[in-house]
Structure 1
Amino acid sequence: MDPPPSEAVLKALEQLYALNALNSRGALTKVGRRMAEFPLDPMLSKMIVASEKYKCSEEIISIAAMLSVGNSIFYRPKDKQVHADNARLNFHTGNVGDHIALLSVYNSWKETNFSTQWCYENYIQVRSMKRARDIRDQLEGLLERVEIELTSNPHALDSIKKAIISGFFPHAAKLQKTGAYRTVKNPQTVHIHPSSGLAQALPRWVIYHELVLTSKEYMRQVTELKPEWLAEIAPHYYQLKDVEDSSTKKMPRGQGLAAMS
């Protein structure tokens, strides 16, 4: 088996350091040890650990479970595409963002006692939802192992968003005059995926779950944020002057591995 490219290893270490999973000597921190208990991408793990601070662990593990299923929640039958699109957009009322919409899907399904019929009516994949429920159950058990209390804060959307940003702050992007976005870290031009509930809204600042390359570089699972949250949540990664809404400001630069030496 070939070793991974050194550049990939370096990038992974930088990410773990930025997430406060590693200290300056490259050893696991207390946060890192808790993150390691979750069999998830480090950003998702950090999001869950951060939910303790914002008192919304119940909502965050639901979002993490839905994100872990991938992009197979909704489906669009060829003969009912308009109906399917309208059903999907119902979960996006108020431009709450894709993460909150996924939470709304899960909670609505739960309120119907996990009804299969409800999934059919809303053009949602039953198998994907059952998988998300299984993942969520596992995550709930792991919360107990790392001594994070199961707390709910369903109406505090800013707190839920801040917990998400705590894990995904490297995935911030800012709207440009062209209508495209530019990632704040390692600047590149990206676009909101057409399936996103924010594809028409085009908020000025967003956080995204992942990038996918098709005809363009698209951001999947997008949520609006306030730029000052980046400096509040990740001051080691962003400075307030870097995220002020001014085109004259330079792009922020993380400390990277230079700070680890």
Structure 2
Amino acid sequence: MGPILKRCKTEKKRKHPEPNLPDGFGLGDHIQLLQIFECWDQTDYDIGWCKDNGLQVRGMLFVRDVRKQLSQIMQKIAKGPLDRRRGESRQDYRNLRKALCVGYANQLAERKMHHNGYRTLGFQGQVVQVHPSSVLKADDLGKFPDYVVYHELIATPRPYMRNVCSVEMRWVVPVINKLKTLDVYKLSGGTGPVEEENERNIPDLPKKNVEVTAGVDDSESRIQAARERFLARKGKK
């Protein structure tokens, strides 16, 4: 998901007023991005509208092409035209958030109890913060939603989540329970703890073989010595 919002310098901000873009109802950046595209769709994809609102034209055109490709794929699956309507409802946004929760199950984060820091869920979690540019809205107590899905992590002195969207706990719990049963090593194609332990034991195998071989040689020597003593006693008789 490439950036479509331009980051203007301070002088340019003074010359141009702030763009009047939707805020995603405070639900997150994914909802805002969808609302921005809906507004652009209502202008019949006017390039001037993108420039007036500080949007990257190239990024918006790319989004339009991707949406067109997805629509064509859905038409093939449905074997007919799609019932496309302008403007999305709150229920549509809720369905989108739920789809993001399931589709990005490995990119969920849970808010810490006493502050707005988050801890990523799943394998090797880490403490992260919501990026300051996010439109995610806090509640009356100043706290962010308990769970969010993020699109990417930014490696800075303080790790941030960029492009985040709030999700509900009842969507997260089944996903987390399923993740707990997955074999991370198997999915990644790496070696698991059992295989690594076996690999550590491999150097000991030649030693064991040497010891077994030495034991066999000693047994044969004792048998040969016993046979010679028997023949010697028999010869004396």
Q: TM-score, normalised by structure 1?
A: 0.58
Query: Partner letter of residue 256 of structure 1?
Result: L
> Whole-Å Cα distance in 2 between the matches of residues 87 and 214 of structure 1?
28
Q: How does 1:50-89 map to 2 (within 5 A)?
A: 67=1, 70-71=2-3, 73-78=4-9, 79-81=11-13, 86-87=18-19
Q: CA deviation at 1:108?
A: 0.5
| Unpaired segments ≥5 residues, structure 2 | 188-237
Deviations, residues 20-39 of structure 1 (Å, cap 9, x unaligned): xxxxxxxxxxxxxxxxxxxx
What value does the CA root-mean-square deviation take over the aligned residues? Answer: 3.0
Larger C-alpha radius of gyration, 1 or 2? 2
- Give 2:150's match in structure 1, choosing from 208, 232, 256: 208
> Does residue 132 in structure 1 map to residue 132 in structure 2?
no
- Give 2:32's match in structure 1, choosing from 85, 96, 101: 101
Query: Partner letter of residue 116 of structure 1?
Result: I
> Whole-Å Cα distance in 2 between the matches of residues 117 and 165 of structure 1?
34
> Does residue 255 in structure 1 map to residue 181 in structure 2?
yes
> Whole-Å Cα distance in 1 between the matches of residues 15 and 74 of structure 2?
38
Contact 1:77-1:84 within 8 A present in 2 as well: no
Q: Counterpart in 2 of 1:169?
A: 105
> Does residue 231 in structure 1 map to residue 169 in structure 2?
no
Query: Partner letter of residue 174 of structure 1?
Result: E
Contact 2:150-2:163 within 8 A present in 1 as well: yes
Q: Counterpart in 2 of 1:160?
A: 96
> Whole-Å Cα distance in 1 between the matches of residues 45 and 137 of structure 2?
29
Query: Partner letter of residue 131 of structure 1?
Result: F
Q: Counterpart in 2 of 1:193?
A: 131
> Whole-Å Cα distance in 1 between the matches of residues 162 and 79 of structure 2?
28
How many residues align? The count is: 175
Q: CA deviation at 1:238?
A: 2.3
Contact 1:175-1:203 within 8 A present in 2 as well: yes
| Unpaired segments ≥5 residues, structure 1 | 1-66, 240-252
Partner of 1:114: helix, strand, or coil? coil
Runs of 4+ off more than 3 Å: 80-86, 144-153, 258-261
Partner of 1:142: helix, strand, or coil? helix
Contact 2:28-2:137 within 8 A present in 1 as well: no
Q: How does 1:106-121 map to 2 (within 5 A)?
A: 106-121=37-52
Partner of 2:162: helix, strand, or coil? strand
Distance 1:189-1:148 versus aligned 2 partners, 3 A rule: farther
Higher relative contact order, chain-length normalized (CA < 8 Å, sep 6+) = 1
Instruction: Name the one with the larger helix percent.
Output: 2
Q: CA deviation at 1:76?
A: 2.6
> Whole-Å Cα distance in 1 between the matches of residues 40 and 83 of structure 2?
20
Contact 1:91-1:105 within 8 A present in 2 as well: yes
Deviations, residues 5-50 of structure 1 (Å, cap 9, x unaligned): xxxxxxxxxxxxxxxxxxxxxxxxxxxxxxxxxxxxxxxxxxxxxx
Q: CA deviation at 1:152?
A: 5.6
Percent of pairs identical after alignment? Answer: 30
